[in-house]
Structure 1
């Protein structure tokens, strides 16, 4: 698509702290090595909160791994520290690998990735042994299972351990969904089936319906030419997307928990792609100008420009856009 826009609306805001101000505070506390304050915050989250959000924020703090190694030397049973350090090792490994297609990644880069993933595995195994209900540690173990190519059965086993304590865990479901896609050795039947299972298993108004939109977006991204154009216009696909949206983002009881910006964004994108401007506009209005990395980084080399084009199209601020080839990208 063309990435030129003269929108009069504000540009999208990809800063997570704009949607969740506590992310900024967590970064500051971690940078100041105020682990007591970090622990108090995370331990005080309401029961059922997806703690992967806080762990993800902390794992992005540069240099935190040195502090956490020292902390764990003194307190080896600190489950939160084990989990954050595991997540940090995963992040460092993927930074070494980069998001380039596999054929463009060197043997040395893959070796670096796998070395950090194996270190993460050991930390996260200890975390889940100490606390088998710790959701963020199991969610990270779904990522390491994918990166280390441990297979569909092992990924499902890990998800089942997570779901035994957290049956509607959005991050965990999203990571298993990725593993169930063909690019990671799964199938579209398995991916779409799991997304529907998550939608119907969660209460009305829950965010889990976003997995249906994500699965269709992933499927759409693998197609080319007329197949891509036709895919989202199938009656069965459009009906499933509308049903999922009405049970989640368009439901009056929609829950804006951690991850809601991503879920809303997926529906905004797929409805724009199907020409359903009314529903796409409703999603964009709910977002304001908030944005998350996905789905927009999958829709063009400039995620902000892709967001603006689809938003302005949905809101009637520009002529209908014409879709062309979008770069096919991998997912962590």
Structure 2
């Protein structure tokens, strides 16, 4: 059966709501200040659900910080409101800093980031004290630990507190993985070891295997010239990525939990880069035309163009 030509393929869809339609409802409820409906929704999610997803959606809504402060003025022990406001403070801080390299960020921008992260820390410390099992608050505290440079041991302590209640929390694992990379004071050995631990501990078909693809992508991005060219073609790297994909993204029981588009995208990208076009094509077929900003934004700046380039090459030959 012939593959669709590049011109016949739809453009990548980066809208989170396309993969998870509840995003549209959550944003509408937030815009309407309908806290009762949002609380009922979040409280009604199955225990193993990654609540960081819903908190992240709410924290994207402009002005939500004013609303959360009003809720907390009336009910200071509202753990969800504390967490949403903390997440919003983190987001505002990072918007001030921007995604530019540290050398291009001004002292004033760093000061703004750290001020908002310190405010977030206080809110999130209170949230985790009130409910030590609330996953989204601990996951946000991993982000503040990174931004405030609190060190590897403190980041791992926070992750372990979360994992005691939620052992396969993809959002938290992704944040700790970033902290374990050399760019945040970690090491490649620590980062690769953690990603593999997450893969093997999770049930087959879970999204967690995507961390193995992510850490290999991070490692590849940190290299230059001939080293980068050779990295993904090493037999041990290839073997580990194939094993991880077969336990997760390419497993027949792959579950489309929160984060699945990102996990599938990392595998599509690394298999494309290593020249394993059949496996890359298999990942792109699962995605349809769904996409997340990363890994594609790391492959040349224009995430959509990078996605199209690699997808079309994989489907044409794989």
Instruction: Report the TM-score range of the alignment, normalised by the length of the smaller protein.
Output: over 0.9
TM-superposed deviation, 1:6: 6.0
Q: Distance in 1 between matches of 2:292 and 2:147?
A: 23
Q: Distance in 1 between matches of 2:149 and 2:126?
A: 20
CA contact (8 A) 1:7 1:308 kept: no
Residue 228 of structure 1 is matched in structure 2 by 228
Residue 88 of structure 2 is matched in structure 1 by 88
Residue 246 of structure 1 is matched in structure 2 by 246
Residue 149 of structure 2 is matched in structure 1 by 149
Residue 133 of structure 1 is matched in structure 2 by 133
Say whether residues 1:199 and 2:162 are aligned partners.
no
Q: How does 1:1-150 map onto structure 2 within 5 Å?
A: 7-150=7-150
Query: TM-score with structure 1 length normalisation?
Result: 0.93
Off by >2 Å, runs of 4+ in structure 1: 5-8
Structure with greater helix percent: 2
Q: Distance in 2 between matches of 1:190 and 1:92?
A: 30
Q: Distance in 2 between matches of 1:312 and 1:225?
A: 25
TM-superposed deviation, 1:253: 1.2
TM-superposed deviation, 1:301: 1.3
Residue 329 of structure 1 is matched in structure 2 by none
SS of corresponding position for 1:316:
helix
Query: TM-score with structure 2 length normalisation?
Result: 0.97
CA contact (8 A) 2:6 2:312 kept: no
CA contact (8 A) 2:177 2:195 kept: yes
TM-superposed deviation, 1:8: 2.6
- The structure whose RCO (Cα within 8 Å, separation 6+) is larger is 1
Give deviations 1:257-310, integer Å, cap 9, x for gaps.
000000000000000001111000000000000001111111111100000000
CA contact (8 A) 1:232 1:238 kept: yes
Say whether residues 1:185 and 2:180 are aligned partners.
no
Q: Distance in 1 between matches of 2:230 and 2:163?
A: 35
The Cα RMSD (Å) is 1.1
Residue 218 of structure 2 is matched in structure 1 by 218
Residue 310 of structure 1 is matched in structure 2 by 310
